[in-house]
Chain A
Amino acid sequence: MSSLLTIESLTRQDIEEMIGLAGGFREVLDRDVPKVPTLVGKTVSLLFYEVSTRTRLSFERAAKALSADTLTFAPGGSSVAKGESLKDTALTLQAMGPDLMVVRHKATGAPWRVAEWTGLPVVNAGDGAHQHPTQALLDVFTLHRRLGALDGLRAAIVGDIRHSRVARSTSQALVTLGAEVTLVAPRTLLPVDLTEWDVATADGIDEVLGEVDVIYLLRIQQERGGGDVFPSIAEYVGRFGLTRDRAEQLSADALVMHPGPMNRGVEIDPAVADGPRSLVTDQVTNGIALRMAVLYSLLSGEGAA
């Protein structure tokens, strides 16, 4: 593996190896000194064209826990404001000598282009509504730590699937590991054509409550609630929100996940987000370990294929 751009390119064995590797790094994070010298002298460049808090911080934390240096680029107040192209920015950063680039961009395929232009290993940290592979891997890693093998796991993903790179990546990772995935969304927020997806769909969250082992909620962008793709936020919550009442209808062991940032009171009730079923903070901590595993794999020449 020279770059991590998409979940589609990974086999079940690739994903399982990455989960195994992340498990080792997760233990490092629990030590008194949560740092190893594995990548001393390596530099990880973070090229983030979209606003990001947790993903960028998580990659930074992961790189530093491996003793790598980081070189962070954010477009606000930079040469991008002066009209520099993505290619020139990528080549400029490359000239500063990083060993790997982490790229987030609003356009589908941008990380592929950066990989072509620079010849460096690239980790896709989110391209448009296309892929977010480290999110998907940290999600299945988090579930795997809690539950073991995911074969036969019943998962529902609820929310704006159409515009979500998380939904695309995480559903693929779950399906690859043998889980059964149901997408729950208004028709206006489902992808138009699901023939390639190997998933089921449901028309409201009530249809799946009693029948899932994990319910994965996606952020609803508030600006979409003005009659653009659904009539109002209240009507969305009425059919798709995980309210406290609905959470009580979940089976006793069912888990709740969310990639963040959350809209409390919209897709998820605050009490559910903070309750015992919630894996939300586990996802954040596990994300660091998983990203350590990815950086290690790409920069040490070992690990997943």
Chain B
Amino acid sequence: MSIISEKITPADQLVSLFKQSIETLNQGSSPILNRMREVSIKRFAQTGIPDFRSEDYKYTNLKPAFEKNYRHELVRETGLINLNEVFKSNIPQLDSTLVFLVNGWFYSGNNPGAELPKGVVLGGLEQIANDRPELLENYMNRQAGLSNDPFVALNTAFAKDGFFLFVPKGVLIEKPVQVINLLSSDENLMATQRNLIIAEAGSQVKIVVCDVTLSASSILYNTVSEIFAGEDALVDVYTIQNLNNLSTSINSAFCRQQRNSNLVTGIVSLHGGLIRNNLKVTFNGEHAEANVNGISFTDKKQHVDNNTLIEHSSPNCLSNQIYKNILDDESTGAFAGRIHVARDAQQTNAFQRNNNVLLSDKARMQTKPQLIIDADDVKCSHGATVGQINEEALFFLRARGIGEKDARMMLMNAFAHEVILKINLEPLRDRIDELIEKRLNGEISRFHEQLSE
């Protein structure tokens, strides 16, 4: 599907592809999605792919990723799924309602929500936008549409499917919903996915998202999620990213919280060539609380960038952020965390911390906390550290007979532990501990290497 042409930029190519494919994009897709396309591609065309001159993308250069030639799946393809692979990426300890998507397309057709409480709607965005447009009407693109980010605009222009979850007023979903995003292609692939999560007043839900590449090809995965937490709602969203070294993930999440709602997010970037996570939380009512956390592991030439923005638009809200990175070899990382306290948002509590461990001389970390406070009665703090493994602790462990390699592993696990503890799902915590061990002992890298043989 890609266009071979000279002297035009990757952004131009994407705009041309859009123009050529507009009928395909609109076909079978709800007007709710289709009506956003033209304006979004225009917005994307105006900005193009940002480079280091853009403040938001100063530390993350996505240009090389967009210069590759990609195949696009503008229509649903079948026969892609290998169930054995699906089960491999499952979290066996976690009793969950499982759905899976392949390259951004929802493939769990057999009513995965059957065991969910009455009124809950779980499915593919494409189908539900067609069948139940009234559910999306007040939410679709209401948060993402406010963003100036070109990749979000690109996503909105091309998005056809993704996962959708609606939890009606007062409903508690006890079993976590597990969303497995499989990425698999023989050729390089640009995948677009659009998710929408609506938790109405007083509802509760925990969502576990696993992104995993199952092929050696280069995948550019552009995913946008909008999360709406109604009054008193409790929403947890945990994401595990496990992509091969040629792949790029641009993962943007927009959360809006009503009064008294509580949001917990945790993003574990286990493996991937280039990962950029954008997270925006907007408080749209008093006494709401957001705990947003992340941990990343990078080696070789990998890069992980977490970019957060907490909009304290309402008084009496609380936000906590802990982001950590463990960087080895020549890998690089970035964290930019912005907290904005609006003029009337008195009694705001906003805390942010970014701690980083460099395991090699060549690894580099850029960290940029930013507080913009327009109210006068607030408690805000931010802090960042970049350091090495604690040599005193390492010696202590070795002096008790624990070998150097094991002692280092123990200390890295301990460093990560603070973030893992924020996850309110014990089986997931245990699984992530296991995955971190596999990450640090090289097993996860070998999984990706084997796929390229």
Chain A complexes with chain B:
no
By a beta-carbon cutoff of 8 Å, the part of chain B in contact with chain A is: none
By a beta-carbon cutoff of 8 Å, the part of chain A in contact with chain B is: none
